[in-house]
Amino acid sequence: MTTIHLIRHGQTNWNLEKRIQGQTESELTELGRQQARDVALALKDVNFDKAYSSSSVRAHDTAKHILEHHDLELSLDDQLREIFLGPWEGNLYDEMKVTHPEEHQHFWEDPSKFNLSGAESFYDTQTRAIDALEAIIEKEKGKTILIVSHGVWIKLLLAKIEERHLQDLWLPPQMTNCCHSIITHDQSNDYTLQN
């Protein structure tokens, strides 16, 4: 049995501003750093065998805080990065609601229809997430793994595991900063969401 702890990065300055991050860099706020330290305390007794993080600064900064009680090397992986939103990145969501009303509506109400020129689709991001997870599991079979990534990336992964349609992606539970999900993968190649 392989156990994977999935954690979203802590709060960033752009989260506060409701600014679209995607794969553009933003920084953890003091609250974001505290959220990561809180996770570190909660997980200090978990015996992680391996730790992976998105190569985005906000993710690997979160991971470093989480690993402060562990003597473990952190591996950065570009495939764990957030959905790429191209021309939207750095802009406010409210601005995109005005300039791209149809795409904005699809993003929040039916991600399966989201199609923005120069951006990644939810389907493509989900495929990337599943491929990345499977590659990690293949290397780390039977181990306990930490993965720090992003809200959409994790949501898409869990939707695939739970066999939920993309139009239901944003249904609860909400993907809050530093939220923690645990999945297991067994020898039958089955995934189970633990929480």
Residue 173: its pLDDT value, please? 86
Q: SS3 of 14, please?
A: helix
Measured distance CA(115)–CA(65) in Å, rounded: 36
Active site residues: 9, 82
CB neighbour list of residue 35: distance below 8 Å, 6 or more residues apart: 10, 11, 62, 177, 178
Distances (CA, A) of 22 to 26, 66, 144, 151, 161: 10, 22, 28, 10, 23
Residues of the chain with pLDDT under 50: none
Residue 194: its pLDDT value, please? 87
Match 């993968």 to its residue by tokens: 185
Residue 65: its pLDDT value, please? 98
Residue 92: its pLDDT value, please? 98
